[in-house]
Structure 1
Amino acid sequence: MRTLSVAVSRRHDTVVLHPRGDVDHDSAPVLTGVLEELEQPWRGLAVDLTGVPFMDSAGLHALLSLERGCRERGVPLTLTGVGEQPGRLLELVGLAEFFTVAR
């Protein structure tokens, strides 16, 4: 298990989350908790999964929670840097088309 950390950067009016480590049952709340701490204004959220080698169902739930939070705020969510294992998981559970994924 790798401890999860989440760095935050901004690209114009989009906030970019950069999680590093596994997103699993123990660490998923770290990722979802960042959304509540973001300072306004921001008009979009991107989650760069480049540093996420492993994600389980709790990680998927965290992404769905972020998507719901963005939808409630009226801003788009984009996933970037989706690696092999997280990408397979998104496809396996039928969420690959649900999320906007930038390649």
Structure 2
Amino acid sequence: MLTLAHERRPGVTVITVCGELDATNRAQLDDYVKDLTDAPLVFDLSRVPFMDSSGLHVLLMCDVRCRREGGAVHLAAVQPLPARLFEITGVLSHVPMHATVEEAVTAALGRAERSV
């Protein structure tokens, strides 16, 4: 089961994703983030043990929408299996990944460079 929550902070929105992210629930995430692209987004992936290419696709399309609105996507606290997916697909050359949510928020607000 996938659970989603978000917190609007000054200048950034943090989206917490919990559970495996795959073809069975990718539409749930896609629907959830459609209206959250007006500020930089930080995805807290600390509770996502597994992600397949369909979950990756949703994150990339979200990044495209965010960039059109002047924002960007930052990934935070990524678990080993999803991190490997990001690494082998080359996503990290386009979407920054950070060790913690707070580091990602700082970077999203333009106060620091990529930290991982």
Band of TM-score, shorter chain: 0.7 to 0.9
Write the distance in 2 (CA, Å) between the matches of 1:28 and 1:81: 20
Q: Which one of 49, 73, 76 corresponds to residue 80 of structure 1?
A: 76
* Residues 50, 83 of structure 1: 8 Å contact kept: yes
Q: What are the superposed Cα offsets for residues 19-55 of structure 1, whole Å, 9 maximum, x if unpaired?
A: 10011001111112112244x9x52111110110000
Residue type of the partner of 2:30? T
TM-score when normalising by structure 1: 0.87
Structure 1: which 4+ aligned runs deviate by more than 3 Å? none
Taking the TM superposition and a 5 Å limit, the aligned residue runs for 1:35-46 are 35-38=33-36, 42-46=38-42
* Residues 16, 48 of structure 1: 8 Å contact kept: yes
TM-score when normalising by structure 2: 0.78
Residue type of the partner of 1:94? G
Query: Could you say which residue in structure 1 is the equivalent of 2:50?
Result: 54
Question: How far apart are 1:86 and its partner, in Å?
Answer: 0.4
Query: Could you say which residue in structure 2 is the equivalent of 1:67?
Result: 63
Q: Any unmatched runs of 5+ in structure 2?
A: 100-116
Q: What are the superposed Cα offsets for residues 5-24 of structure 1, whole Å, 9 maximum, x if unpaired?
A: 11111222211110100110
Question: How far apart are 1:100 and its partner, in Å?
Answer: 1.1
1:31 corresponds to 2:29: yes
Write the distance in 2 (CA, Å) between the matches of 1:19 and 1:98: 20
Q: Any unmatched runs of 5+ in structure 1?
A: none
Question: How far apart are 1:96 and its partner, in Å?
Answer: 2.1
RMSD: 1.5
